[in-house]
């Protein structure tokens, strides 16, 4: 490589604060991706599965979502690596944000008319590939363009966009009133609309072709392994995110059954458990939106990351303990609020911390994609860990205590990160 990381402008550490319009573009991309992803995942795929076969709907949904989750584990780091090597005159990230959005939208529209379960599965995998491609690129754009002292604020706003997108997906699914085909089309429109501002106002710096190392397939594949011995801060950051996310997923996984069987919310409050989940999810989301913005800004102002990551991890663990030892409707309301407060702050500040332990500027997209595995993998691991606690080892008290312990381990291991304050 004839240019070093520090001499190629696209690879230099950013110093100029980004403009509000740039940040707004990043937020809207996150809104669009999450609306297009979670509307189908929460409601529309289930409705389509039931339309194919009511008796087999659970199996169909498990097949489709499982295949999609497997694709997401691979697609995020892979597209991140592709964007790292892109030498387009529009920059490294913009082409992949646009490509991912177009691929995801086209697959969503095709999904509306999927003739078979096999086609449904394939098209949902393409949606996952597209959304993860766009997400990998837009996430890498933040350390590319945002100076370290501003990353907590921008990371917090991006996390807010993700949560708003999840709520927008739920609204889309509710608004189409069972017409899943219309829901897919609206989701596709939301995905495309979300990328427009960023496409127009992106400030992406092109990577010169001579600054890109020659392609070698074996080296490209080996690059996805980031040695913990050579990059211990990155490894500890990955592990802490994995543990905190496992704890968070364990809390939310059985929420419907917890309200029905432990809280007995129908008998005690006259509230259907499904509506109870909606209330708790809305409360949680509002707190995430508020504290992601506040936590990120506070972290930038203090110039510290680790203390806030540790505190927010402890708050998440406290929410688990509230649910464990106060299995009542007021306890559930408080627990959901506390969980949202902790997780919102965690999302913003931990993201800023991670951008400061990335091994190289050349591979930010790929490295953040590897970090994203710590977001996706808990969706697979949490059910495997949670089930024996609920079924064999003490029910919901044991489940939520275990979730608290796992989350606290994440807080403990943050201390091992040495290169960030």
Could you confirm whether domain 232-414 is CATH 3.40.50.300? no
pLDDT of residue 317 exceeding 90, the answer is yes
Helix or strand (DSSP H, E) at 30: helix 20-39
Report pLDDT for 31: 97
pLDDT tens readout for residues 32-89: 999 999 889 878 998 999 999 988 998 999 899 889 988 999 999 999 999 999 999 9
The CA distance from 155 to 49, in Å, is: 36
> What is residue 403's predicted lDDT score, i.e. its pLDDT?
94
Provide mean pLDDT across the span 282-300.
94
Distance CA 22, CA 27 (A): 9
- The per-residue pLDDT for 4 is 41
pLDDT of 287: 96
- Confidence at residue 7, expressed as pLDDT on a 0 to 100 scale: 59
Q: What is this structure's pTM?
A: 0.90
- Helix boundaries (H) for 146-272: 151-175, 180-200, 217-222, 232-253, 255-257, 265-269
The two tokens of residue 224 are: 């996805």
* DSSP secondary structure letter of residue 304: -
- Take residue 321 and report the two structure tokens written for it: 């303990």
For 164-187, the pLDDT digits (tens) are 999 998 889 888 878 999 999 999
Q: What is the mean pLDDT of residues 294-298?
A: 95
Q: Is the pLDDT of residue 22 over 90?
A: yes
* DSSP one-letter code for 415: T
68-77, 377-386, 408-417: the lowest-pLDDT one: 377-386
> Which residue carries 């939520």 as its tokens?
400
Share of the chain above pLDDT 90, in %: 70
pLDDT of residue 2: 37
Q: Which pLDDT score is estimated for 41? A: 84
Decide whether 18-212 matches 232-414 in CATH topology. Answer: yes
C-alpha distances (whole Å) from 143 to each of 29, 158, 306, 338 are: 16, 13, 18, 29
- pLDDT for res 328: 94
Mean pLDDT value across residues 90-102: 96
Percent of the chain surpassing pLDDT 70: 98
CATH of the structural domain 18-212, one choice from 3.30.565.10, 1.10.10.60, 1.10.1130.10, 1.20.1250.20 = 1.20.1250.20
Mean pLDDT of the chain: 91
Tens of pLDDT along 339-371? 999 999 999 999 999 999 999 888 999 999 999
Owner of token pair 């098209």: 123
Please report the pLDDT score of residue 105 as a whole number.
98
Residue 313 pLDDT > 90 = yes
Q: What is the mean pLDDT of residues 320-328?
A: 95
Q: Would you kindly state where each structural domain of the chain is located, as residue ranges?
A: 18-212, 232-414
pLDDT tens by residue, 104-158:
999 999 999 999 999 999 999 999 999 999 999 999 999 999 999 999 999 999 9
| Burial (0-12, 13-18, 19+ Cβ within 10 Å), 193 | middle
Q: How many Cβ atoms sit within 10 Å of the Cβ of residue 80?
A: 29
DSSP state for residue 14 in the 8-state scheme: P
């Amino acid at each position: 490589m004839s240019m070093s990381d520090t001499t190629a402008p696209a690879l230099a550490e950013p110093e100029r604060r980004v403009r509000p319009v740039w940040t707004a573009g990043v937020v809207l991309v996150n809104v669009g991706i999450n609306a297009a992803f979670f509307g189908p995942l929460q409601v529309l795929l289930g409705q389509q599965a039931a339309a194919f076969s009511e008796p087999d709907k659970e199996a169909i949904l498990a097949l489709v979502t499982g295949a999609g989750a497997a694709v997401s584990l691979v697609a995020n780091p892979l597209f991140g690596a592709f964007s790292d090597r892109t030498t387009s005159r529009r920059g490294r990230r913009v082409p992949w944000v646009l490509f991912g959005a177009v691929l995801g939208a086209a697959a969503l529209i095709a999904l509306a008319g999927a003739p078979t379960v096999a086609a449904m599965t394939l098209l949902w995998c393409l949606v996952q590939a597209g959304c993860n491609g766009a997400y990998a690129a837009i996430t890498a754009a933040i350390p590319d363009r945002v100076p370290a002292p501003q990353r907590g604020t921008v990371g917090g706003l991006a996390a807010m966009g993700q949560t708003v997108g999840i709520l927008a997906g739920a609204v889309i699914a509710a608004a189409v009133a069972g017409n899943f085909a219309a829901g897919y089309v609206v989701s596709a429109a939301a995905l495309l609309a979300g990328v427009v501002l960023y496409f127009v106002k992106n400030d992406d710096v092109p990577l010169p072709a001579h600054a890109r190392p020659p392609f070698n397939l074996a080296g490209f594949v080996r690059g996805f392994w980031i040695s913990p011995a050579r990059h211990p801060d990155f490894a500890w950051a990955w592990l802490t995110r994995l543990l905190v996310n496992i704890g968070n997923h364990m809390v939310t996984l059985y929420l419907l059954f917890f309200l029905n069987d432990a809280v007995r919310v129908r008998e005690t409050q006259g509230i259907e458990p499904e509506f109870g989940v909606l209330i708790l999810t809305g409360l949680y989301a509002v707190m995430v939106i508020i504290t992601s913005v506040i936590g990120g800004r506070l972290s930038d102002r203090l110039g510290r990351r680790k203390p806030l990551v540790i505190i927010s991890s402890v708050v998440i663990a406290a929410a688990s303990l509230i649910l464990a030892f106060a299995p009542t409707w007021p306890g559930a309301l408080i627990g959901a609020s506390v969980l949202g407060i902790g997780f919102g702050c965690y999302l913003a500040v931990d993201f800023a911390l991670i951008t400061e332990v990335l091994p190289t500027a050349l591979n930010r997209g790929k490295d953040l994609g590897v970090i994203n595995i710590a977001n996706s993998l808990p969706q697979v691991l949490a059910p495997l860990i949670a089930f024996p606690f609920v079924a064999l080892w003490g029910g919901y008290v044991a489940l939520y205590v275990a979730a608290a312990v796992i989350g606290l381990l994440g807080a403990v291991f943050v201390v091992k990160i040495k290169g960030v304050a």
